[in-house]
Structure 1
Amino acid sequence: MTDVLPHTARAAESGPPSVPTFAVISGEQVKKALEGAERQVVELVETTYRLHGAGDSVNPPSYFLRFPDRPSSRIIALPASIGGSVHVDGLKWISSFPENVDAGLPRASAVLILNDHDTGYPFACLESSIISATRTAASAALAADWLSRERPRPARVGFCGTGLIARYIHTFLARTGWSFEAIGVHDVSAASTEGFCGYLRQSGATEPVTVHDSAEGLIRSSDLVVFATVAGRPHVTTPAWFDHNPLVLHISLRDLAPEVLLASANFVDDVEHCLKADTSPHLVEQRTGNRDFLNGTLNDVLLGRAAPPRDQPVIFSPFGLGVLDLAVGKYVYDQVARAGRLRLVDDFFHDLRRYG
């Protein structure tokens, strides 16, 4: 590999390059590019939601690769294209193998491919588990902000599920101006709970932390509830647990029974994407035969077309859009390129003459 200017810089200096370039960006480089940029990334995610809502994107359904011999595992392809200043196409390829946790490995691993808008040539491959967690956390922080603007600001946060995504969401909340009177934690894994509490101490969190032995205890004592589990089917079935009208970030999508959603105000990131693959909103649609339970999308809230009520629980269920990965991935690429740290793979493209 060589460290040279990216294809975009070369195009700006001397016109379109005659030979496309291809860069590989490691997880360490991704982490450094995103560190301390939480506010910028939340703003980028908001811009991307607005572009998507305005139709300046292509975001087809995700494709799930499943395995008869490994029913709990899957690999998902998220192709997408985004316009605006990002102006890039690409694909996230992310695997979820829950058994990895028992072996001491993270559940998810991913790569992101960025394609040039004009030629279609892929120009970068990025380690993307960090990008995926970052865009998820940024989306959660953005939703928490906008969905609480017309309601009392949550003072007590509870995390149901204490893995990587919960850690990133807490980091984004803390670094975008949120502070709480108390933090609640619940997980079926004592080791995960202990690890998350250790992260909270290391992060400098000063709020008192309570470990709850049940989801009910966590929910009832929290104004902002974050679901970040690996649940494959609903395990929270009692609407009365939400009688205090909390704001719920339903990041893991399959924790809540239809009864809970039907007793709440519901917002999603994208209707067609979210109502698939037996998510909790999809189960509601299957039961009722309609989508009347939906109050709108997050973009509707951004544009003032919908507002969360004050007298109901408010649930945000984001499926996770590939355009968000592209936006954050392109931000990382540009940051690494500007720092002069882009690693290009020599001769990645070969035999570029059409007739030899």
Structure 2
Amino acid sequence: MTNLKVISEDEVIKIMEDSWIDGIDIIKKSFIERGRGKVILPDKISQIFDSTTQNRINCMPSTLVDENVSGMKWVSVFPTNYKQNIKNVNGLTLISEIETGKPYALVASTWLTKFRTAGVAGLASKYLAKKENEIIGFIGSGEEAKMHFEIFKLLYPELRECRVSSRTNKSCIKFVDSLKEKYEDVDFVICNNDYEKAIRGSDIIVTAISGQDTVLKAKWIDKANFYVHVGGLEDEYEVAFKADKIVCDEWDAVKHRGSQTISKMYQDGLLKDEDIYAELFEILLGKKEGRSSSDKFIYFNSVGMSYVDVLLAKYIYDNSSNFGKVLYI
């Protein structure tokens, strides 16, 4: 008989409540372990139900050998869910130890997926963005955009202005209303569907949309030093061409994804392997330099790696002494 602890979404959020910096450190550790060759990473299985909308369910396994943990994240990504006011992303992570192979925790991972995605971008920014940033601009105003704002505000307390644009005024208002009381020192500017207004003059820019549309135009990027590409097809090809450096969490995973801008550019023969400056672990391990004095604009693209999810799930379990329900299976 195996004891399996089931940790709910609300419990995950409580465990992480005052531990966001610790969570980002866990994210960093997972990439370092990958760079050290201590991660087993089978291919992700993605079941795409609609090639246009990219509605899909992903099965993402990995093992961190020195951490004695193997796991599998099962996550659905349905960009069309916004039409029904349902979360776009829903996920679970199952983890086992690798001495006997026994599973020991099932962790709700919808919130953790948001945190991981934004946390990876925040971690990358500490090496790739300028040290001080005052204005952040968003195209997209959903849950992922909100999490990115909170992570960046945590890492860059000097942020004083947040510009948000989206398809509708309603979604922009919802974004601002959910954040303005907590961040009274920030001026939230609603740009509605004027994406250019959100981008011009921003130091950091983030695209986090649920559709497949080239909403970000290169000609708008005037002051921005760091761009976070969150999802699929979000920017025109000229944005990548404009970058001094393109950095990915893992290029091999990105280029086989198919739906992201730079993966499409690769498939169209417009980007080559050598055009990708670095993978994130290369910078964390000092194998390649991050931002240099000559860099003006850096493009960061992440596809989402399961070893990050697995180590975050283990962190949740390790800190769950007062949480979770044990099942006997």
Asked if 1:217 is matched to 2:197, the reply is yes
| 8 Å CA contact 2:135, 2:204 repeated in 1 | yes
Aligned-pair CA distance for 1:193: 0.9
Mapped partners of 1:319, 1:71: distance in 2: 17
Matches within 5 A, 1:54-203: 54-67=36-49, 72-84=54-66, 86-148=67-129, 151=130, 153-203=132-182
| 8 Å CA contact 1:155, 1:182 repeated in 2 | yes
Mapped partners of 2:53, 2:147: distance in 1: 27
Structure 2 counterpart of 1:274, one-letter code:
V
Matches within 5 A, 1:1-356: 19-67=1-49, 72-84=54-66, 86-148=67-129, 151=130, 153-212=132-191, 213-236=193-216, 238-264=217-243, 265-278=245-258, 279-286=260-267, 287-288=269-270, 290-304=272-286, 305-309=288-292, 310-336=294-320, 338-339=321-322, 341-346=323-328, 348=329
Report SS of the residue matched to 2:180: helix
Mapped partners of 1:119, 1:110: distance in 2: 25
User: 296-305 or 132-141, which moves further after superposition?
Assistant: 296-305
| 8 Å CA contact 2:256, 2:263 repeated in 1 | yes
| 8 Å CA contact 2:79, 2:211 repeated in 1 | no
Distance change in 2, residues 1:276/1:232 (3 Å) = farther
Report SS of the residue matched to 1:100: helix
Aligned-pair CA distance for 1:33: 0.8
User: 253-262 or 312-321, which moves further after superposition?
Assistant: 253-262
Distance change in 2, residues 1:47/1:243 (3 Å) = same
Distance change in 2, residues 1:190/1:83 (3 Å) = farther
Report SS of the residue matched to 1:203: coil
| 8 Å CA contact 1:253, 1:317 repeated in 2 | no
Aligned-pair CA distance for 1:112: 0.8
- Deviation string 1:176-227 (CA, Å, 9 cap, x unpaired) is 4533131110111322211110012132342211122322221112110011
Aligned-pair CA distance for 1:293: 2.0
Aligned-pair CA distance for 1:306: 2.6
| 8 Å CA contact 1:59, 1:323 repeated in 2 | yes
- Deviation string 1:210-253 (CA, Å, 9 cap, x unpaired) is 122322221112110011111324333x4222243421111224
TM-score (norm 1): 0.85
| 8 Å CA contact 1:57, 1:83 repeated in 2 | yes
Mapped partners of 1:311, 1:69: distance in 2: 36
| 8 Å CA contact 1:111, 1:129 repeated in 2 | yes
TM-score (norm 2): 0.91
- Deviation string 1:232-279 (CA, Å, 9 cap, x unpaired) is 24333x422224342111122421222210221210011111112221
User: 120-129 or 32-41, which moves further after superposition?
Assistant: 120-129
Aligned-pair CA distance for 1:83: 2.9
Mapped partners of 1:69, 1:184: distance in 2: 31
> Radius of gyration: which is bigger?
1
| 8 Å CA contact 1:261, 1:284 repeated in 2 | no
RMSD: 2.0
Aligned-pair CA distance for 1:64: 1.2
User: 216-225 or 314-323, which moves further after superposition?
Assistant: 216-225
Q: Which runs of 5+ in 1 are unaligned?
A: 1-18, 349-356
Mapped partners of 1:276, 1:69: distance in 2: 15
| 8 Å CA contact 1:147, 1:301 repeated in 2 | no
Report SS of the residue matched to 1:113: strand
| 8 Å CA contact 1:243, 1:313 repeated in 2 | no
Report SS of the residue matched to 1:288: coil
Paired residues, number: 323
User: 271-280 or 151-160, which moves further after superposition?
Assistant: 151-160
Report SS of the residue matched to 1:175: helix
User: 287-296 or 136-145, which moves further after superposition?
Assistant: 287-296
State the identity %. Answer: 21
Question: In the alignment, what sits opposite 1:3?
Answer: none
Aligned-pair CA distance for 1:307: 2.5
Report SS of the residue matched to 1:345: strand
